[in-house]
């Protein structure tokens, strides 16, 4: 039976607003206390760990949402098999990180002095990977069982716990780059363990049949997520490569501010994917949901652009003044990004995750080429422009594919209507 999604999405969005406030506070404090250079190092370090996770997890956590929602496999066997496979991906990811330490790949992103300093804390990167895996699988299990209230409780716990630990470490005058990574690890790991306990007990058995099915579905998700991550973050790595960690810090502030506008879209896709996987009736709501999300994010981007010159120096300090222009260039692209986020969830729920994968591949190549051309010439403004152009390309491609697959008029996918606000009550 189809659920009413409007209240679930609304509550999830309300939780995301609180997460936004706590996350914004955390980012402001880190920006002020670490400074642009150290913030840039933390950003690259954290993004590297996330990239390893995206590359090694095989998409098994998202596959668990799909198969828990449609009930194709027995719950206990699915959870037990996924748990065992998750341990394997944790080992694989840790080996990649340790190989990075051993072969000195940090020098690709940092000058030798800073690479040597960060290498001393690289073991925190392994801890962060394990914590991230624990949290990510925990949230996906709750979503797969459509336990949205528990999911939201755990989501808000993480930034609150991070803030408490951050204030504690700063009060003890011990805030360093490795300790920030340690705080991240703890704030992801503890809620993750709690979520695993919520879905317990389950059988600790391994099924080859379930593994084949989850890997077959998940590998497409993994590649799509990896390409999406690289599309979102390759510019950060290339800013670090072509410029300095100081500029990485500036650009990272522009990114985190612009991407906060996606909380409504994130709330929508989070709820919509398991619901649409469970019921084809939910898939019919995609055009309306997409239009409403696009409208609200577009309004948010407009307001952010009007106020950027005022709140960036006020909140993050005058040291981040150079982030403003990059932010203004990013905002149109972030508004366009709402479209592939919603439509990708629809395609994945229909069992067609390869469609977002193919679009992500085209987008990644385009984005990479543009970054290589524009960053050396125009700095972080070139990186922002590359991202915005890439987001517009992804939006155009996925709208075309959705129109081609469902025969839905493009205007119905994109153009908001006065009746949408009234109709969203029936979603």
Give the C-alpha distances (Å, rounded to integers) separating 227 from 270, 358, 387. 19, 9, 13
**What pLDDT is recorded for position 301?**
92
Q: Other C-beta atoms within 10 Å of 322: how many?
A: 19
Which candidate, 79, 76, 82, 77, places its Cα nearest to that of 60? 82
What is the chain's alpha carbon radius of gyration, rounded to the nearest angstrom? 21
**What pLDDT is recorded for position 38?**
81
Tokens of 121: 């804390």
Which candidate, 380, 289, 297, 410, places its Cα nearest to that of 343? 289
Q: Please give the chain's pLDDT, 427 residues, in tens.
A: 344 556 676 677 778 778 878 888 898 898 888 888 788 778 777 877 887 888 888 888 888 888 887 778 888 888 889 889 989 999 999 898 888 777 777 676 556 666 666 676 677 788 889 998 999 888 888 888 888 888 888 989 999 999 999 999 988 887 888 888 889 899 999 999 999 998 888 778 889 999 999 888 888 777 777 777 777 778 887 887 888 778 888 898 898 888 878 766 665 655 555 655 555 656 677 787 778 888 888 998 999 999 999 989 888 888 889 999 999 999 999 999 888 888 887 887 777 778 888 888 888 889 899 999 999 999 999 999 999 999 999 999 999 998 988 888 888 888 877 766 666 555 5
Give the C-alpha distances (Å, rounded to integers) separating 420 from 288, 296, 299, 327. 7, 12, 15, 29
Which candidate, 339, 256, 326, places its Cα nearest to that of 297? 339
DSSP track, 370-401: HHHHHHHHHTHHHHHHHHHHHHHHHHHHHHHH
> Distance between CA atoms of 71 and 61, rounded to whole angstroms?
15
Q: Are 298 and 304 in contact (CB under 8 A)?
A: no
**What pLDDT is recorded for position 1?**
36
308 alpha-carbon distance from chain centroid: 23
> Distance between CA atoms of 326 and 332, rounded to whole angstroms?
11
**What pLDDT is recorded for position 272?**
54
Q: Are 23 and 159 in contact (CB under 8 A)?
A: yes
Phi and psi, residue 408, nearest 5°: -80, 130
**What pLDDT is recorded for position 31?**
85
Cis peptide before 272 (omega within 30 of 0): no
**Domain range summary for the chain, segments of one domain joined by +:** 5-426
3-state secondary structure of 121: coil
């Amino acid at each position: 039976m189809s659920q009413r999604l409007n209240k679930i999405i609304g509550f999830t969005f309300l939780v995301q607003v609180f997460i936004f406030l706590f996350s914004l506070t955390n980012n402001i404090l880190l920006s002020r206390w670490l400074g642009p250079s150290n913030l840039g190092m933390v950003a690259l370090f954290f993004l590297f760990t996330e990239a390893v996770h995206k590359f090694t997890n095989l998409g098994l956590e998202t596959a668990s949402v799909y198969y828990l929602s449609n009930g194709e496999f027995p719950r206990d066997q699915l959870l037990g098999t996924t748990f065992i496979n998750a341990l394997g991906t944790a080992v694989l990811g840790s080996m990649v990180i340790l190989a990075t330490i051993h072969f000195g790949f940090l020098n690709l992103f940092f000058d030798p002095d800073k690479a040597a300093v960060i290498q001393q804390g690289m073991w925190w990167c392994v801890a962060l990977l394990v914590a991230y895996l624990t949290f990510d699988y925990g949230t996906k299990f709750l979503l797969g069982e459509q336990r949205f209230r528990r999911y939201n409780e755990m989501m808000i716990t993480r930034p609150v716990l991070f803030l408490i630990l951050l204030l504690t470490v700063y009060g003890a005058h011990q805030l360093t780059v490795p300790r920030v990574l340690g705080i991240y690890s703890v704030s992801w790991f503890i809620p993750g363990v709690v979520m695993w306990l919520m879905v317990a007990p389950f059988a600790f058995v391994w099924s080859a049949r379930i593994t084949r099915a989850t890997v077959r579905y998940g590998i497409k998700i993994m590649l799509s997520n990896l390409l999406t991550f690289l599309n979102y973050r390759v510019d950060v790595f290339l800013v670090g490569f072509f410029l300095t960690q100081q500029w990485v810090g500036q650009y990272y502030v522009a990114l985190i501010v612009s991407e906060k506008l996606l909380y409504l879209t994130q709330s929508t896709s989070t709820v919509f994917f398991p619901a649409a996987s469970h019921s084809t009736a939910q898939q019919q709501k995609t055009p309306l949901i997409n239009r409403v999300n696009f409208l609200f994010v577009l309004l948010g981007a407009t307001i952010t652009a009007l106020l950027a010159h005022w709140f960036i120096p006020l909140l993050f300090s005058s040291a981040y003044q150079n982030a403003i222009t990059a932010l203004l260039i990013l905002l149109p692209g972030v508004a366009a990004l709402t479209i592939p986020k919603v439509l990708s969830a629809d395609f994945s729920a229909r069992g067609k995750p390869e469609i977002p994968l193919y679009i992500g591949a085209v987008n990644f190549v385009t984005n990479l080429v543009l970054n290589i051309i524009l960053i050396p010439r125009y700095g972080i403004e070139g990186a922002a422009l590359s991202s915005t152009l890439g987001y517009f390309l992804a939006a155009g491609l996925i709208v075309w594919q959705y129109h081609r697959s469902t025969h839905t008029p493009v205007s119905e996918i994109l153009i908001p209507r006065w009746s949408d606000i009234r109709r969203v009550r029936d979603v």
